[in-house]
Amino acid sequence: MNWKKEWKILALMIGAFLACFYLPAGSSRFDRAVIESLELVRWYAREHVLFCLIPAFFIAGAISVFVSQASVMKYLGAKANKVLAYGVAAVSGTILAVCSCTVLPLFAGIYKMGAGLGPATTFLYSGPAINVLAIALTARILGWNLGMARAFGAIIFSIVIGLLMHFIFRKEEQAKAAAQMTMPEPEVKRPLWQNALYFASMTGVLVFANWGKPEEAHGLWHAIYSAKWLMTSGFAVAFVAILAMWFELKWTHLILASMPSIALAIVFPSNPMIAFAAGVLGLSVITSTNKAEPGEWFQSSWTFAKQILPLLLIGILISGMLLGKPGGEGLIPSEWVSSAVGGNSLFSNFFASIAGAFMYFATLTEVPIVQGLLNNGMGKGPALALLLAGPALSLPNMLVIRSVMGTKKTMVYVSLVVVMATFSGMIYGKFF
Amino acid sequence: MKIQVLGTGCPKCKQLSDNAQTAIEELGADCEVTKVTEINEIMKFGVMLTPALAIDGEVKCVGKVATVSEIKKMLQ
């Protein structure tokens, strides 16, 4: 037998065996945690998948197909305006980093062939935090103010970190890689304003379908809440019209595909979920059978869903097991959580940043984890600190970053991230 | 000919190397598909949007999953 090859599998088996052998099934705490985790999964499935995740997948897919990445990259090239480069690097994560695995190559590219260390670290920090999926899910589950704080915190602090990195290492003349940036030719198929309207209509559907019920039963927010399905339908109609006019989809097909959704909305007016699901299905059928751009769009949305959903399911299960559903308690006692990251002390924020920096979060799983921690008494400040430090860094990606820019710069970068996340957590915790 | 698929190992890169494999089989061409996953190696090609595809060391497509028919065209 080839032990060198097989030892990992054996170790895994022994581990699984021991875990099963000592499985605390039957103890009330464990059994309750299992129920909690199943209830949490059901809650996500009922409340968040259809209205929030699915539209967000379509938007993310659309960004990766219809937005020209090359046109953004020219602002991050070697000859780019330095001031502009920081700004573009800070916000371009929304467009460039729709998939977490693209962040590291882009970072390495900007560092070695493009605008240099400062903008590269700016991009590295903000990228994972401001992609559409992350913002949509954070705002939906953890509340819009934490969602916004996460997005703006990431943008502002990414610029600060980039500038600091540039300042600290300003004396190091770095040898630019000999290779030339190879970029795909930007393809212009329709004017920018048409693309902008297309994205606006989709974002409208996402925002209004998820409009939360306000606490007071009057005022502007409530008025919007009562009309949310009307607004959502309005945006959906605009969206269908845009697809027909500018995306080479046939009117007849589009109308046929919207028919079931409209009919179901009339038959079941009190249950918008049915009509919404039918609409999603109709859209999927006409885009997936298309051979041109819309087909590519569906393909790319599907890739995201395939990649992210299984990991998210596992993340929710584990988080439910350890931390329980809202209002419940899992395997980890609440007192532990509140003593480690409760309140808004320097220690809580620092602890949350350090833990977030080293832990690996698969795309989006940071959301159920932070939600579980908040339920068990985590302070809002430390929650933001974890959200800022978490997805930007993990032990595996530190190793890749180190291979690109060396040990010293990586250590400085990691310390800056931890310090920045701690302070932004404290500032946020003070106000909310 | 030598086909190289550049990417750090995300699902898109796997899709691209599957597509390349299919294209070769359909053409019956004598090609070898290898993966380049080391980030510094990828940088040497000047590529920063993954996945990317290089044929005989020359980058043919960047930042998207090339379809089977596109890869066939590049090979011919």
Read out DSSP for A166-187?
Answer: HHHTTT--PPPPSSPPP-PPPP
Quick one: tokens of A172?
Answer: 């190091």
CB count in 10 Å sphere of residue A340: 18
Contact present, A287 and A298 (Cβ < 8 Å): yes
**Residue of A92, A101, A111, A399 to mutate, testing the B interface (most B Cβ within 10 Å of its Cβ):** A101
d(C-alpha B36, C-alpha A113), whole Å: 19
Q: Is A12 a member of any domain?
A: no
Yes or no: say if A228 and A211 are a contact pair by the CB < 8 Å rule: yes
What size, in residues, is chain B?
76
Chain A residue with the nearest C-alpha to that of B7? A105
Report how far apart, in Å, the C-alpha atoms of A55 and of each of A50, A65, A159 are.
8, 15, 30
Which residues of chain B neighbour A74 with C-beta distances below 8 Å?
Answer: none
Q: How far apart are CA A113 and CA A35, in angstroms?
A: 52
Residue A327 lies in a domain: yes
CB contact under 8 A, B62 and A106: no
Which residues between 163 and 182 in chain A have a beta carbon less than 8 angstroms from any beta carbon of chain B?
Answer: 177, 179-182
3-state secondary structure of A60: helix
Q: Among residues B3, B5, B6, B13, which one is catalytic?
A: B13
What letter would DSSP give residue A80? S
Measured distance CA(B33)–CA(B51) in Å, rounded: 14
Assess if residue A83 is contained within a domain: yes
Largest CA distance in chain B: 32
Report the distance separating Cα A114 and Cα A123, nearest Å. 12
Task: Name, in order, each residue with C-beta under 8 angstroms of A159's C-beta and a sequence gap of 6 or more.
Answer: A86, A87, A90, A122
Instruction: Convert chain B into a string of H (helix), E (strand) and C (coil).
Output: CEEEEECCCCHHHHHHHHHHHHHHHHHCCCCEEEEECCHHHHHHCCCCCCCEEEECCEEEEECCCCCHHHHHHHHC
Contact A114 B12 (CB under 8 A): no
Per-position pLDDT tens, chain A of length 432:
778 888 888 999 999 999 999 888 888 888 888 998 999 999 889 888 888 889 988 988 888 788 777 777 778 877 778 888 898 888 887 777 655 567 888 888 888 888 888 898 998 888 877 877 888 888 888 888 888 888 888 888 889 999 999 888 887 755 555 556 666 666 667 787 888 888 889 888 888 888 877 777 777 888 888 888 888 999 999 999 998 888 878 888 888 888 888 888 888 888 888 889 999 999 999 898 888 888 888 988 888 888 788 888 988 998 888 888 877 788 888 888 888 888 888 899 999 999 988 887 877 888 899 999 988 888 899 999 999 888 878 888 888 889 888 899 999 999 999 998 999 899 998 887
Report CB contact under 8 Å: A183, B49: yes
For A83-120, give the DSSP string.
Answer: HHHHHHHHHTHHHH-SSGGGHHHHHHHHHHTBS-HHHH
Nearest to B49 among A106, A306, A307 (CB): A106
- From the list B10, B39, B48, B49, the catalytic residue is B10
Residue range(s) defining the domain that contains residue A118: 28-170+307-431
Question: What CA–CA distance (Å, rounded) separates A276 from A182?
Answer: 42
Q: Taking the model in full, what pTM does it have?
A: 0.82
B31 is catalytic: no
Tally the domains of chain A. Answer: 1
Instruction: Tell me which chain A residue has its CA closest to the CA of residue B54.
Output: A182
Residues 8-67 of B with CB under 8 A from A: 8-13, 15, 38-40, 42-50, 52, 59, 61-64
**CATH code of the domain in which B41 resides:** 3.40.30.10
Task: Flag whether A182 is in a domain.
Answer: no
Question: Distance (Å) from the C-alpha of residue A108 to the closest C-alpha of chain B?
Answer: 7
Is B61 one of the catalytic residues? Answer: no
List of chain B residues whose C-beta atoms are within 8 Å of the C-beta of residue A307? 10-11
Question: In total, how many domains does chain B have?
Answer: 1
